[in-house]
Amino acid sequence: MANKRIARRDFLKLSGMVGAAAGLDLVGLRHLGPAEAQAALTAQDQWIATCCNMCGGTTGIYARVVNGRVIKIEPNSSNPIGLCNISTDFTKLKSTGARMCPKGNAGIMTQYDPDRVKRPLKRIGARGAGQWQEIPYAQAVAEIAAKLAQIKSESGPEKVVWFAEDNTAVPIQQSFCNVFGTPNFLQHSNLCDVARKFGFERTLGNGRPLGDFRNTKYMLIFGWNPLSATKWAHLPRILVDGLANGAKLVLVDPRCTETAHKALQYGGRWLAIKPGTDGALALALANVIIGERLYDANFVANWTVGFSEFSSMVAAKTPEWAAPITGISATTIRTVARELAKTKPAVVDAWSGPGQHMNGAEGSRAIASLAGLIGQVDAPGTLILPGRKGPKFTVPPPSSPLPARVDRQNSTQYPFAHSSGVYVEAREAMLTGQPYMPRAAFFVMQNFVFSVPNTAKSLQALNNLELIVSVDIHLSETALMADYVIPGTTYLERFELLPQWVTFPAVALRQPVVSPLFGQKPEYEFVKDLALALGHDVYPFNVTYEKFMDDALQAGLGFGLADLQAMEGATWIGGETQYRKYLTTGFATPSKKFEFYSQQMLDKGLNPVPDYIPTEDGPTNTYPLYIINWKEALHTHSRTMNNRWLMEFHGENELWININKAKSLGICDWDLVTVENQYGKARARAKVTRRIHTDVVGMVHGFGHWASGSIAQGKGTNDGQFIPGKAERLCGMAAHKDGAVRVYK
């Protein structure tokens, strides 16, 4: 039967539907249960609501599936991620249609990438040599389980270390580690935003506040590029809507990013800061706001603790003190401080720029303190503390007390380490055998070799292991080091329950829109099979994954999987954005107030008020240039460089270098140059520009592959090889953006 073309407008009107056209009635699949929906996947032509996973942003999408093949992906307006983050805006904007990003649009090219891993692979040559034998899945599971059992009985379960991405099947992987008995479950947050989390948790008691950019009048953003590193698909829209409504944007970044450029277009500022010095800038802004009595006296008096200690500390942190450290003039610091304090509502926010340095935790806390000083918290147009609800998975507790962790996550060395672990310490253990030597590592949807700073160290560390298992859709640099590679599924082939990152309760479903292309099992089924092969015949391994999800939904939200599947756009909306919740409940800090002063930190022998500590890995005489890295709209980390469409738009990364610096080094635009330091040396394509600080060079993260697919290989330069590879002192965050190099022709 000829398929019925749905006009875009009609499509949006019908955005509640899950199945349409060719024999299916328009409401079709959304009334079916999971099993029936699966069965119905053979129907000819459908639009199926689900969630993207080209990055971790979980944008709501509709996949058009014709004859069992995804042919088009469109945004899903019933899911707020593509629209906005405030409930009243959601109601207003829904009819205008949601957005998605280029990577989401190009998802089909990942799904049907000929270089995907199709069958389980067993290493037959030297580690990393790329010699494989295809083996049956059952054999792979049996052999891996046998090796795990051997390691456990010979030297203890903790010798197995498990690394996971956080968007996919986390509870079942945590369950596996608990039941098997290893404390060493590490997941992506440690590589991502735990420094930002630390800053906001210590001050306002919530690690993930969300900026209400659309309804604000002033935005002060440190080292975040929402217009290109679109953490959530609504960010470019709400930010630009805010600017169009008259807000002013001040963007702090060594580089004139897309967001900084937009700030300039709308009469705002780009502050070209020296890397790793955001904390100094924030303290100097606080110095002016306090010194000139511009702070919110009412909020400070009623809702904060430690103002006097904080004031005494910042008294010496004058703009004149900060100017040579940050490279931003004292006059500019004074002007921005005055504007910030006088323009309301205002959002102060930050992400990876300040966070991914060795002083990232305290820098983030200094920035967070500004929001308290000006009283711009949890009110419209400010930083909102999201009211989230979600599924409650029943994860079995450890069968016996867990041994000590390998990554020092719960040691005094990292007094505020996040539960996601300390990746660089786990790696250190593989190199030094201290505190003990791991024997096996699992990598589920992670490219450890590219994602943990200092590539050479990662390769050396993996070389010391007896068993490496990688579950990946590509033969990544990490998979290349493995003993067994298990073919992963894409987000279009599996389930996930996804609490959405907006300020009101929302949970969306990711569901298989097509069957796994090569008959392979989803990641969670592999974990279950492994547990069962090891004799762990317990919940959740002995029930279907659908049952595990259904139980979690029932426990957390009071409805089941089939209900969520039937909801408009497979998305549950559970209420409105609530403001100023602290008026009734206080802040979720020990004092119930916004904390300029942290007793928790003092108790651990640390400075209770945020201080500025310089990073140790800045420029030297030999390596005079800072090197940084970043993300861009067309790529995700190291995972999209084999996507043909995305690579046609941006097929290699360039080394950004300031025009004056380039001139002094005799470098012209598009020259091939050498980038070098004590950790790595490589060629890079120079991009000569005015849009980066004179003393800084940098590149988009994630290029320079030698594995990961035929398109990815040999394109651009791997940024991770130049980074020392340390962990932030307080929270253990991987310091991805510290480093210095020399560059020559």
Ligand X SMILES: Nc1nc2c(c(=O)[nH]1)N[C@H]1C(S)=C(S)[C@@H](COP(=O)(O)OP(=O)(O)OC[C@H]3O[C@@H](n4cnc5c(=O)[nH]c(N)nc54)[C@H](O)[C@@H]3O)O[C@H]1N2
Site string for Mo ion, 287-316 (x = CB under 5 A): ------------------------------
Element (H, E) at 352: helix 352-355
56 residue type, one letter: G
Do residues 711 and 647 lie in contact, with contact meaning Cβ atoms separated by under 8 Å? yes
**What's the angle, vertex CA 169, arms to CA 164 and CA 171, rounded to 5?**
90
273 binds ligand X per the rule CB under 6 A: yes
The stretch near ligand X (CB under 6 A) out of 210-218, 229-237, 341-349, 417-425 is 229-237
Nearest-approach distance from CB 57 to Mo ion, in angstroms: 10
The verdict on 187 binding ligand X (CB under 6 A) reads: no
The binder of ligand X chosen from 107, 354, 499, 680 (CB under 6 A): 354
Tell me if 638 contacts ligand X by CB under 6 A. Answer: yes
Alpha carbons within 13 angstroms on the beta-carbon side of residue 321 total 16
What is the secondary structure of 488-536 as a DSSP string?
PPPGGGS-EEEE-SSSS-EEEEE--SS--TTSPPPHHHHHHHHHHHTT-
Mark the segment that binds ligand X (CB under 6 A) among 274-282, 312-320, 328-336, 647-655. Answer: 274-282
Residue with tokens 């007094």: 415
Q: Is the CB of 121 or the CB of 449 nearer to Mo ion?
A: 449
737 lies in the binding site for ligand X (CB under 6 A): yes
Q: How far is the CB of 230 from ligand X (least distance, A)?
A: 5
Considering only 253-261, 283-291, 296-304, 382-390, which stretch makes contact with ligand X by CB under 6 A?
253-261
**Pick 179 or 444: Cβ nearer Mo ion:** 444
User: Using CA atoms, how far apart are residues 481 and 463, in angstroms rounded to an integer?
Assistant: 8
Instruction: Kindly tell me which of 76 and 352 has the beta carbon lying closer to ligand X.
Output: 352
User: Number of residues in contact with ligand X, rule: CB under 6 A?
Assistant: 61
Q: Where are the beta strands (DSSP E) in 207-254?
A: 210-211, 218-222, 248-252
Reduced 3-state DSSP string for 587-643: CCCCCCCEECCCHHHHHCCCCCCCCCCCCCCCCCCCCCEEEEEECCCCCCCCCCCCC
Q: Which region, judged by CB under 5 A, interacts with Mo ion, from 76-84, 191-199, 386-394, 709-717?
A: 191-199
Nearest approach in angstroms of CB 223 to Mo ion is 13
SS3 assignment for 667-733: CCCCCEEEEECCCCEEEEEEEEECCECCCEEEEECCCCECCCCCCCECCCCCHHHHCCCCECCCCCC
Q: What is the largest CA-CA distance in the chain?
A: 76
Q: What are phi and psi of 528, to 5 degrees?
A: -60, -45
- 351 is an interface residue for ligand X by CB under 6 A: yes
d(CA 742, CA 623): 5
The radius of gyration of the chain's CA atoms, rounded to the nearest angstrom, is 25
Using CA atoms, how far residue 35 sits from 50, 107, 234, 245, 544, in Å, is: 16, 25, 32, 47, 11
Give the residue among 243, 240, 252 at the shortest CA–CA distance from 285: 252
Give the shortest CB-451-to-ligand X separation in angstroms.
3
Pick the binder of Mo ion from 192, 281, 348, 734 (CB under 5 A).
192
Considering only residues 659 to 718 of the shown chain, the ones binding ligand X according to CB under 6 A are: 701
Query: Looking at 165-173, 192-200, 367-375, 571-579, which segment touches Mo ion (CB under 5 A)?
Result: 192-200
| Measured distance CA(68)–CA(334) in Å, rounded | 61
- Is 418 a residue that touches ligand X (CB under 6 A)? no
* Size of residue set near Mo ion by CB under 5 A: 1
User: CA-CA distance, 542 to 664, in Å (whole number)?
Assistant: 66
Determine the residue type at 477. E
Whose Cβ is closer to Mo ion: residue 419's or residue 622's? 419
> Does position 172 bind Mo ion by CB under 5 A?
no
Which residues lie closer than 8 Å to 309 by C-beta, 6 or more apart?
A: 596, 597, 608, 609
Query: Please, which residue, 45 or 113, has the CB nearer to ligand X?
Result: 113
235 binds Mo ion (CB under 5 A): no
The bridge status of strand 506-510 relative to strand 496-499 is antiparallel
Print the binding letters for residues 615-634 with ligand X: x by CB under 6 A, - otherwise: -------------xxxxxx-
The number of beta carbons lying within 10 Å of the beta carbon of residue 342 is 12
Under the binding rule (CB under 6 A), the answer on residue 197 touching ligand X is no
Q: Binding to ligand X by residue 352, rule CB under 6 A?
A: yes
Q: How far is the CB of 402 from Mo ion (least distance, A)?
A: 27
388 three-state secondary structure: coil
Picked from ligand X, Mo ion, none, the partner binding residue 262 (CB below 5 to 8 A depending on kind) is none
The partner in contact with residue 85, picked from Mo ion, ligand X, none with C-beta cut-offs of 5 to 8 angstroms by kind, is: none
What's the min distance (Å) between Cβ of 205 and Mo ion? 22
Q: Is residue 231 at the binding interface for ligand X, with CB under 6 A as the rule?
A: yes
* Interface with ligand X, residue 639, by CB under 6 A: yes
Of residues 562 and 655, the one with the C-beta less far from ligand X: 655
Binding of ligand X by 58 (CB under 6 A): no
Instruction: Please choose, out of 119-127, 473-481, 501-509, 659-667, the segment that lies near ligand X by the rule CB under 6 A.
Output: 473-481
Q: Which two tokens stand for residue 577?
A: 């954005």
**From CA 719, how far away is CA 677, in angstroms rounded?**
12
Select from 190-198, 386-394, 610-618, 736-744 the region that touches Mo ion (CB under 5 A): 190-198
Position 349 contacts ligand X (CB under 6 A): no
Residues 524-563 that bind ligand X (CB under 6 A): none
Interface with ligand X (CB under 6 A): 53, 55-56, 165, 188, 191-193, 222-225, 229-231, 252-255, 257, 273, 275-276, 278, 351-354, 357, 445-447, 450-451, 453, 471-474, 476, 488, 490-491, 523, 628-633, 635-639, 701, 719-720, 723, 736-737
Interface with Mo ion (CB under 5 A): 192
